[in-house]
């Protein structure tokens, strides 16, 4: 696909941590309509992917050449407690997008997750069989299945442990650690029995842009290079903030947080970018390099 100022890109669910990066990347070179149900930016327009008719009307008016669906409920505990909302947002929402794209005969970008695997293996490549443990993974995996069954032209990108968006929008691990640091704690308690691959939103958004231009449609694992435990990520983050000698990191097991984080999680969510590498379209940097870059945002806040 030739992406230029005449290319119309409709980005759904663009108000979150990944949405900021995707909007920044695509709006530089394309005509973008960014939507969300939470209008937390001036450049957002209201649209609910769960409502097929209103989303379709908006698409007919805008006439996009590409739809990127970022709309998702990603809080695992919320998904477990709100089954219907999870299926409607993560499942039906993507099905609605596919129906719209099919009618308009345009490609779709769908963001999936390493959480579709059960953690029985340490590493997962693009061809491994998903077996999600919880509501979040099951609803996101349904999005993969329906996209592949309804469309011929699609990109499915599986992300890992997402980081990006800064203190304002990052709802994941890095900002949770940062908030503890900001509150003045001198000790952190972090698990070492959960393994994964961090995924920087800036690299992820840039990779989407570059891969969409190739027209190499399909499903891809797309995470930063390298992997580690939550403990490894916490140590590296402290190092980036020059706080490794001031804050102690205690290793605990997942049971330590069983009340707060009761949703089932795989032991390992490590993804391998097998297809991207073999097709020579792997643009993701090492997670440590990305975390060092991302940490500059937090250093300014301390």
Alpha-carbon dihedral sign for residues 131, 287, 274, 279: positive
Do the domain assignments include residue 170? Answer: no
What's the pLDDT at 213?
A: 97
pLDDT at 194 over 80: yes
Q: Are 194 and 265 in contact (CB under 8 A)?
A: yes
Of the candidates 145, 104, 237, 255, the one whose C-alpha atom is nearest the C-alpha of residue 191 is 255
Which phi-psi region, left, alpha or beta, contains residue 183 (left: φ > 0; alpha: ψ -120 to 50)?
Answer: alpha
Q: How many CA atoms lie within 13 A of 189 on its CB side?
A: 6
Alpha-carbon dihedral sign for residues 197, 201, 207, 212: positive
Do the domain assignments include residue 291? Answer: no
pLDDT tens per residue across span 220-237: 999 999 999 999 999 999
Of the candidates 19, 95, 227, the one whose C-alpha atom is nearest the C-alpha of residue 10 is 19
Which phi-psi region, left, alpha or beta, contains residue 60 (left: φ > 0; alpha: ψ -120 to 50)?
Answer: alpha
Please give the mean pLDDT across all residues of the chain.
Answer: 97
pLDDT tens per residue across span 30-89: 999 999 999 999 999 999 999 999 999 999 999 999 999 999 999 999 999 999 999 999
Q: How many CA atoms lie within 13 A of 102 on its CB side?
A: 13
Burial 118-127 (b: 16+ CB within 10 A, else e): bbeeeebebe
What's the pLDDT at 301?
A: 73
Question: CA-based angle 209:19:273, to the nearest 5?
Answer: 50
Interatomic CA distance for residues 108 and 97, integer angstroms: 8
The predicted model scores a pTM of 0.96
Neighbours of 254 (CB within 10 A): 14
pLDDT at 299 over 90: no
pLDDT at 282 over 90: yes
Q: What would the two tokens of residue 100 be? A: 């719209």
Q: What is the mean pLDDT of residues 276-281?
A: 98
Q: What would the two tokens of residue 28 be? A: 């530089």
pLDDT tens per residue across span 128-181: 999 999 999 999 999 999 999 999 999 999 999 999 999 999 999 999 999 999
Q: Are 182 and 301 in contact (CB under 8 A)?
A: yes
pLDDT tens per residue across span 104-130: 999 999 999 999 999 999 999 999 999
Quick one: CA torsion of 122, 123, 124, 130, rounded to 10 degrees? 10
Q: What would the two tokens of residue 287 be? A: 């997670």
Domain CATH number, residue 278: 3.40.50.720
What's the pLDDT at 300?
A: 78
Give the domain extent around 103: 8-165+198-226+270-284
Domains held by the chain: number: 1
Q: Which residues pair with 36 in a beta bridge?
A: 46
Of the candidates 289, 184, 181, the one whose C-alpha atom is nearest the C-alpha of residue 241 is 181
Q: What is the mean pLDDT of residues 240-267?
A: 95
């Amino acid at each position: 696909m030739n992406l230029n100022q005449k290319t119309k890109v409709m980005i759904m669910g663009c108000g979150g941590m990944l949405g900021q990066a995707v909007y920044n990347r695509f709006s530089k070179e394309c005509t973008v309509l960014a939507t969300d149900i939470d209008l937390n930016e001036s450049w957002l327009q209201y649209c609910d992917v769960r409502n097929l008719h209103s989303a379709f009307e908006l698409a007919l008016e805008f006439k996009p050449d590409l739809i990127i669906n970022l709309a998702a409920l990603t809080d695992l505990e919320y998904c477990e407690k709100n089954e219907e909302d999870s299926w409607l947002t993560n499942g039906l929402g993507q099905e609605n997008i596919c129906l719209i794209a099919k009618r308009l005969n345009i490609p779709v970008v769908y963001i999936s997750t390493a959480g579709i695997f059960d953690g029985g293996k340490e590493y997962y490549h693009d061809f491994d069989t998903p077996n999600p443990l919880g509501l979040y993974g099951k609803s996101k995996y349904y999005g993969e299945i329906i996209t592949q069954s309804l469309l011929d032209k699609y990109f499915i990108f599986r992300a890992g442990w997402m980081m990006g968006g800064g203190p304002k929008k990052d709802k994941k691990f890095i900002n949770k650690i940062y908030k503890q640091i900001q509150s003045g704690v001198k000790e952190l308690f972090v698990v070492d029995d959960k393994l994964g691959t961090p995924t920087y939103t800036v690299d992820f958004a840039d990779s989407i842009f570059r891969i969409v231009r190739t027209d190499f449609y399909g499903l891809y694992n797309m995470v930063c290079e390298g992997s580690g435990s939550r403990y490894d990520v916490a140590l590296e983050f402290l190092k980036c903030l020059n706080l490794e000698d001031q804050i102690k990191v205690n290793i605990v097991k997942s049971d330590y947080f069983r009340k707060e984080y009761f949703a089932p999680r795989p032991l390992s969510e490590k993804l391998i970018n097998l297809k991207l590498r073999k097709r020579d379209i792997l643009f993701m940097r090492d997670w440590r390099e990305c975390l060092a870059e991302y940490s500059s945002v937090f250093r300014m806040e301390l």
